[in-house]
Amino acid sequence: MDRKKETVTIYDVAREAGVSMATVSRVVNGNPNVKPLTRKKVLETIRRMGYRPNAVARGLASKKTTTVGVVIPDISYAFFAELTRGIEDIANMYHYNIILCNSDLKKNKELQLIEALFEKQVDGLLFLGGEVTEEHREIFSGSDIPVVLAATQDEKVKNRPFVTIDHVQAAKEATGILIREGHQRIGFVGGPLTDPIIGYPRYLGYKEALSESGLPFEEKWIQLGNYRYDTGLKATKELLMMEEGPTAIFAVNDEIAVGAIHAAQDLGKRVPEEISVIGFDNIPLATQVRPLLSTVAVPMYDIGAVAMRLLTKYMNGEPIENNQVVLEYRLELRDSTQLKETPDSV
Amino acid sequence: MDRKKETVTIYDVAREAGVSMATVSRVVNGNPNVKPLTRKKVLETIRRMGYRPNAVARGLASKKTTTVGVVIPDISYAFFAELTRGIEDIANMYHYNIILCNSDLKKNKELQLIEALFEKQVDGLLFLGGEVTEEHREIFSGSDIPVVLAATQDEKVKNRPFVTIDHVQAAKEATGILIREGHQRIGFVGGPLTDPIIGYPRYLGYKEALSESGLPFEEKWIQLGNYRYDTGLKATKELLMMEEGPTAIFAVNDEIAVGAIHAAQDLGKRVPEEISVIGFDNIPLATQVRPLLSTVAVPMYDIGAVAMRLLTKYMNGEPIENNQVVLEYRLELRDSTQLKETPDSV
DNA sequence: CTGTTAGCGCTTTCAC
DNA sequence: GTGAAAGCGCTAACAG
């Protein structure tokens, strides 16, 4: 076969089948306005010649690439991996492909990535994590490409579409569990507070819960690092070895929380009898630890799926009833806290 | 500004700057054959007009898209997520973007995905996991697009490039550790044996280790499921509750291994005093469990990175000294086995 | 139902 | 150093 050398084009097929390029184009694109017999003939020569439509040429002519850009902090985090799976599944369902980019939450990298994606003429963009700065807004609004935010939102821009959960409220409720258990000294272990997506909102929720219950907020009970297990491990040891240290830990994510559990155990403290720990996200790890981790179940997959679905609506010009969706979370109380009944949600 | 409505093209820039399209193209592409003054002038009007090169048009004209396809079983597995991170980092370094596709190890989905990626004119393809069947080979060889396999290889096709580790040997060594500890009854917990990438080779290694040591191979000590924690948990309970059950478990991956540890603990058996467990991969979870998991450290990130680098060489026509690389693994003996010294490697 | 004809926005010889 | 012109392979009116 010679299909390897010469690339066969729509023109070749047309000539060979004795029809026009337009007709070939029609059958390739499933346009119904083709006589069945003609269609059959064309399909046959397509097969015979091993014709493969060139999506780049199609993209140039039609101004649609059926490709969307996805900018994400770091795919190696279970949270984002799961979310990305949701995105890709829906994208696939609607016949889109995704170009995946890791930003490491670095603003300049984000900006440069978005720019590159726009140059590639993606039909839409999903942006996750990272603060939406003025520069982001500028580049977003400088083009007609629809952008939806996932797992975050833009406080400043009223109508920027997004799909997320209420991080503050969830963190507040999670901390509330610890409070209901009777803990008076509750530690906080998290990533950087400068992170407007995870770090800060969850910190806020924690703080609000304390103040609403009249509990003391102690600067020294706040331990910060990154979002990894080791942070949870080290920070919690620190906390537990203090005089008057916390008796319960609110961790901003599950990896940290599991680190916290192990820290307690390493120090000979029993969880949850002596120390309660509550996490956030409900990644698989949460049920792969003993005791099972109590946590805030965040619908990661759904955030991705819903965000992608919303984006398809923009791309296809479908009517959109609600472009800012706040998904439900759920308190998943397992064995790292003593309370087993979810209180009436606020 | 009107940059939102009318898209400004290279032609507009040329006209505005009083030069030809060719010149604009040259400065955009960093071609040195442009007088500094001209370059400056062009750059200036590019900035002023907010010109953004259209990569699709460029792709059509140049027959290069600077995009590579990545077909992977499931990004929500830590193993693949980490590997993908390695891929993306190197891709990024060489100014390529990746189109990520999850295949769920389904042959038809893989084939369809590869086809779609080829239609999109990716400059190269990274294929991970899943058996390489005759149909795969046909589609691969039916085009000039370079394909490299990662974390696997094609036994049948001699010169298909790949980057992987020696799964059989690694599994053999891991099992060997358990044997050296004196275990006589060693259980195997894995995914489907029909998986030619992970399941089968690792099973083979296990089996070889036993037979070389003259240890009994018992069908009933083989437990199969998927690659998740629950499989490890349930299968191991099954195993440990047998009369004459295994006293050590070789798990084909870390998630399963951690499930195995918890199964033992749930049954009141101590790890590693009563039951030894060894895993495979060395995902973060391996150090997020107590006792710390002994495992085979697979250079996941590197497999991705090296595979991507190899692919760039093909795409750029660089000379290639070795297109089939077998990376080193390492036995990481921690606390779920009793042996702490790595024996002399074979 | 089918064909003709313009482009889509850029790269790439080939001249000058 | 720079420009002119010919495509890259396809879609999208428009005409018939």
**What pLDDT, on a 0 to 100 scale, did the predictor assign at position A4?**
46
pLDDT in tens, A287-298: 999 999 999 999
Cβ contact A67–B99 (<8 Å):
yes
pLDDT exceeds 70 at position A341: no
**Mean pLDDT, residues A11-23 taken together:** 94
Of A1, A121, A288, nearest to B56 by CB-CB distance is A121
CA angle (B313, B315, B320) in 5-degree steps: 30
Strand D proximity list, CB < 7 Å: A 7, 9-11, 21-22, 25, 28-29, 51, 53-54, 57-58, 60-62; B 18-23, 26, 32-35, 37-39, 57, 60-61, 63
CA angle (B310, B196, B335) in 5-degree steps: 85
Q: Which two tokens stand for residue A129?
A: 């994590």
**Mean pLDDT, residues A169-177 taken together:** 97
Q: Which two tokens stand for residue B237?
A: 């309970």
Residue with CA nearest D9 C1'?
A57
**What pLDDT, on a 0 to 100 scale, did the predictor assign at position A342?**
62
Q: Which positions in strand C are less than 7 Å from the protein's CB atoms?
A: 1-13
Half-sphere exposure of A32 (CA within 13 A, CB side): 0
Question: Which of A113, A120, A126, A290 to probe the B interface (max B CBs under 10 A)?
Answer: A120
Question: Which of B3, B70, B90, B120 to probe the A interface (max A CBs under 10 A)?
Answer: B120
Give the integer Cα–Cα distance in Å for A89 and B109: 12
Q: Which residues pair with B305 in a beta bridge?
A: none
Whole-prediction pTM value?
0.94
φ/ψ of B165, rounded to 5, equals: -125, 175
Torsion B81-B138-B115-A101 (CA) sign? positive
Contacts with B203 (C-beta within 8 Å, 6 or more apart), sequence order: B171, B188, B190, B193, B222, B252
- A21 CA, C3 C1': separation in Å? 8
- With CA atoms as reference, the chain A residue closest to B115 would be A52
Give the integer Cα–Cα distance in Å for B205 and A110: 44
pLDDT in tens, A244-303: 899 999 999 999 999 999 999 999 999 999 999 999 999 999 999 999 999 999 999 999
Cβ contact A288–B102 (<8 Å):
no
- Residues from chain A that touch B75, judged by Cβ atoms under 8 A, are 75, 81, 84-85, 88
What is the overall mean pLDDT for chain A?
94
- A13 CA, C5 C1': separation in Å? 19
CB-based burial, A114-141: b 16+ in 10 Å, e otherwise: bebbbebbbbbbbbbbbbbeeebeebbe
**What pLDDT, on a 0 to 100 scale, did the predictor assign at position A345?**
47
CA–C1' nearest nucleotide, residue A32: C1
Strand C proximity list, CB < 7 Å: A 18-23, 26, 32-39, 57, 60-61, 63; B 7, 9-11, 21-22, 25-26, 28-29, 51-54, 57-58, 60-62
Half-sphere exposure of B18 (CA within 13 A, CB side): 5
Of A84, A85, A288, nearest to B285 by CB-CB distance is A288
- Residues from chain A that touch B229, judged by Cβ atoms under 8 A, are 284, 287-288
Residue with CA nearest C11 C1'?
B61
pLDDT in tens, A39-84: 999 999 999 999 999 999 999 999 999 999 999 999 999 999 999 9
Instruction: Show pLDDT as tens, one digit a residue, over chain B (346 residues).
Output: 333 457 899 999 999 999 999 999 999 999 998 999 999 999 999 999 999 999 999 999 999 999 999 999 999 999 999 999 999 999 999 999 999 999 999 999 999 999 999 999 999 999 997 889 999 999 999 999 999 999 988 988 889 999 999 999 999 999 999 999 999 999 999 999 988 888 999 999 999 999 999 998 999 999 999 999 999 999 999 999 999 899 999 999 999 999 999 999 999 999 999 999 999 999 999 999 999 999 999 999 999 999 999 999 999 999 999 999 999 999 999 999 997 766 554 4
- Residues from chain B that touch A117, judged by Cβ atoms under 8 A, are 97
- A16 CA, C2 C1': separation in Å? 16
**Mean pLDDT, residues A153-174 taken together:** 94
- Residues from chain B that touch A56, judged by Cβ atoms under 8 A, are 56, 59-60, 65, 120-121
Contacts with A16 (C-beta within 8 Å, 6 or more apart), sequence order: A45, A49
Confidence class for position A1, pLDDT limits 50, 70, 90: very low
**What pLDDT, on a 0 to 100 scale, did the predictor assign at position B216?**
87
The SS3 of residue B85 is helix
Asked if residues A293 and A139 have their Cβ atoms less than 8 Å apart, the reply is: no
- With CA atoms as reference, the chain A residue closest to B144 would be A4
Of B53, B102, B287, nearest to A119 by CB-CB distance is B53
pLDDT in tens, A180-232: 999 999 999 999 998 888 899 999 999 999 999 999 899 999 999 999 999 99
φ/ψ of B267, rounded to 5, equals: -90, 5
